Amino acid sequence: MLFFIILILTFASGYFLPWWVVAIAAFLAAFFIGKTPGRSFLAGFGGVFIVWTILALFKSIPNDNILAKHVATLFQLPNWILLLFVTSLIGGIVGGMSALSGVLLKRAFAKDNSQGLKK
């Protein structure tokens, strides 16, 4: 469930908002829905990785990958597919770490709140 929510929020924000909004979306989704840190990281990583790959292909394929080829050459990468993978990997790490932060902050508040009730 968390994976699909992050996937939808990332896809919706990918067209209109800056790139870093995916971190906020993954953080908030994991904060409210996330259960375990491992699953939250994988949901954030996978959701953002897939969406960034799809969005990059949507923008690159219609122009025959001209810009992607030039940017890959600029970064001394052998082809544009490797550039696509590196870009998606960076986005996936951002999404995974922010989802992990969200669920860990949720746990920190839950532990702090449960200790306050015992007093």
pLDDT classification of 110: cutoffs 50, 70, 90? confident
Instruction: Give per-residue pLDDT as tens, 23-74.
Output: 999 999 999 999 999 999 999 999 999 999 999 999 999 999 999 999 999 9
The per-residue pLDDT of the chain, averaged, comes to: 92
* Cα–chain center distance at 58: 18
Tell me, what's the pLDDT at 70?
95
Q: How many domains does the structure of the chain reveal?
A: 1
Contacts of residue 24, Cβ cutoff 8 Å, sequence gap at least 6:
98
Q: Does pTM top 0.85 for this prediction? A: yes
Tell me, what's the pLDDT at 115?
59
**In this model, does residue 119 exceed pLDDT 60?**
no
Longest Cα separation, the chain:
65
Residue from 116, 100, 111, 113 nearest 41 by CA: 100
Contacts of residue 102, Cβ cutoff 8 Å, sequence gap at least 6:
26, 27, 28, 29, 30, 31, 34, 40
CB 56 within 8 A of CB 88: yes
Tell me, what's the pLDDT at 95?
97
**Residue range(s) defining the domain that contains residue 68:** 2-118
Higher pLDDT, 115 or 27: 27
Higher pLDDT, 109 or 92: 92
Tell me, what's the pLDDT at 106?
94
Tell me, what's the pLDDT at 112?
67
Q: What is the dihedral sign for C-alpha 16, 49, 46, 94?
A: negative
